[in-house]
Chain A
Amino acid sequence: MVPIARRMLFADRRRALLGVAGVAIALVMALTLDGIFAGTTRQVSRYIDTSPADVFISQEGVRTIHMAISILPMTAADEIRTLPGVDWAEPILFSNDALRAPGGRRPSYVIGYTPGGRGGPQTLVQGREPGPGEMVIDDSAATALNITLGDEVEVLGATWTVSGLTTGMTSIVNTSVYVTFDDLTTVLGSPGAASYILIGTDGDTEAVANSIEAAIPGVESQTRPRFSAEERSVVREMSTDLLYIMSLTALLVGLAVIGLVLYATVLSRLRDIGVMKALGLDGSGVTRLVLIQAMWTVMTAFVLAVGATFGIGAVVAAAAPDIDVVVEPASLLRAGAGAVLVAVIGVIIPIIKVWRVDPATVFRRPS
């Protein structure tokens, strides 16, 4: 078969490329926003994902760290240590506040842990673990706020001296800081309480998690993957409406572009379409013609957009390490489906136009 649809579309290369570029930009917008969002949700659960704990214990009904307050009695940790399959149990305290420094401020998770234990930073790139009145902060936040070792910062109304730098714990949303369990207990005024208990197991993690929940009343016991998933989902739920609005905007931009491009292509080829109809192209033929042109436009745009998004991700990673652009397969599927939807909706008006072309126009002299 003669590839008439593609030939007609690309006969005017400049217009075709503008159309492809327009749709591609809309798709890049959607994919990049999705990628930043996916990267952010991953970063939000970084503390959980990098923790050596197999199981996380929280107050009954509390399933996340983000947007939650969990209070557990310290005695719960002692009880848990006696249970079969439990290798170790370590309480941590958790709070939120802004990390303030002369260079600015940044929202922070404040984690109180026992130095030398497993609840603190997994990596130290500079300095040492916090002692009394000291704090470990993330190197990225330190750079952004112009903080170096030995500087003083403010968190939760107290002043702390920076003793060490960890890494990978800053996202576009916030950063994590680490202080001693005892200091945070004092600052929060919560003696005898913990926020979460980290558990190491030496058996079937799922079974241990279940047995803890059955044995200790008033606690929620979740394996690390489940706790991480809950953490990400609460962030997603908080941002879903915003994400929908942004994706819808990108989709509408793509729709407008493809509609205009196809309409302009059809308008510029009305005589050719009249000739084709005169020669015997039927209604389904002209519909197919416009649909194929739409599919060519969006599929070419989609391929370009995916490539461009990966490129943007690499550039962003180099320029702004706090922003992680993660292009997930589900995001590609959504963008692909959106592109097809845009193509199908975008062709409606051009198709109506070509249906109305009278084949007898071939006998009229071109103006």
Chain B
Amino acid sequence: MTNTALAAIQLDKTYGEGSTEVHAVRAVDLEVQPGEVVLIMGPSGSGKTTLLSMLGAMLRPSSGQIVVDGGDLTAISESRLPKLRATTFGFVFQDFNLLGPLTALENVEFALNLAGVTGHQARKRAEGLLTDLGLGERLSFRPDKLSGGEKQRVAIARALANQPPIILADEPTANLDSKIGHEIARLLRRIATEEKRAVVIVSHDNRLQDVADRILWLEDGAFRDLHTMSTDPICGMSVDPSNAPHLEIDGEVIYFCSTVCRDEYGTSGAPGRHGVRAERIEDEPDGR
């Protein structure tokens, strides 16, 4: 445990009570080491965002512990959490979440200000980070003048600004085209490898599997034991064959994320248009 960057122990989150109770995350255990990229996948509503919110100290778990740097986040008072978020976590979001009124440079500088770094020092560091990420010519641009890839790189620079040990990324490639998506994926990989940061990514994007050290499948709030995953030939989403809608064509079984994709495939009648990929992705009972 001494080398662990982030650990979740029997993490549980329940919303509501009685008949309206929703068990969003159930007894999740997770350990992430420095330099490791962990990809958490799963269908919509599986609890990925709730889990990420709890790991990032934005949401209190109903029970369980989150251990960062030897300390239990769940035992820390509410008033200390903002400072902890500023210094311990770097966040990368699907929608970039850059502050519109600020320039690229100021977006990064603002994150530094929140951690107590101000003035010339903050400006130099923000400039350095953006330049390293190839945005040296875009420092004074507002987010609305940047491309999707540039916005995400600014967001990554902002996430790295305070040199946090943990990067939490929510669908970081979802709004990017294939080429830029791969670039961002490789960048996250490089950050983990070269800077020894723990990177936790929540995503539907299969491209991120290439850069992940581990892939976890979250469904109904819990990590599943064993997954032989297939890819939906219509939308490209990973699907669990044990409970996925499917078609059998010429003896070959094709799995879909939903009946909508299955019906579309059946209507288009295009077997062979998309290859069927069945692969063993993960085989760890508790996600460790």
Interface residues of A (CB under 8 A from B): 1-2, 4, 7-8, 10-11, 271-272, 275-283, 285, 358-360, 362-363, 365-366
Contact = CB atoms under 8 A, between A and B. Distances in A.
A8 B111 CA distance: 16
A362 B170 CA distance: 10
A343 to B, nearest CB: 21
A276 B94 contact: no
Contacts of B10: none
B25 to A, nearest CB: 13
A149 B106 CA distance: 74
Contacts of A10: 101
Given A360-B59, A363-B49, A363-B93, A280 B82 contact: yes
Given A2-B106, A360-B53, A272 B100 contact: yes
Given A279-B91, A280-B85, A362-B97, A2 B115 contact: no
A11 B110 contact: no
Contacts of A277: 82
Given A2-B113, A278-B85, 9 more contacts: A1-B118, A2-B102, A2-B106, A278-B56, A280-B82, A280-B86, A280-B115, A358-B58, A363-B53
Nearest to B94: A365
Contacts of B101: 4, 7-8, 10-11, 272
A4 B91 contact: no
Contacts of B93: 362-363
A279 B111 contact: yes
A359 B53 CA distance: 9
A283 B87 CA distance: 17
B94 A282 contact: no
10 contacts: A1-B119, A4-B101, A8-B101, A11-B100, A272-B101, A278-B56, A282-B79, A282-B83, A363-B53, A363-B170
A280 B56 contact: no
Contacts of A272: 99-101
Nearest to B202: A363
Is chain B's binding surface mostly helix, strand, loop or mixed? helix
B22 interface: no
B91 A362 contact: yes
Contacts of A282: 79, 82-83
A359 B81 CA distance: 11
A293 B94 CA distance: 29
A364 B158 CA distance: 19
Contacts of A281: 82, 114
A299 B53 CA distance: 39
Contact of B85 (A1, A2, A4, A279): A279
Contacts of B52: 363
Contact of B79 (A283, A358, A363): A283
Given A1-B118, A4-B102, A282-B82, A366 B110 contact: no
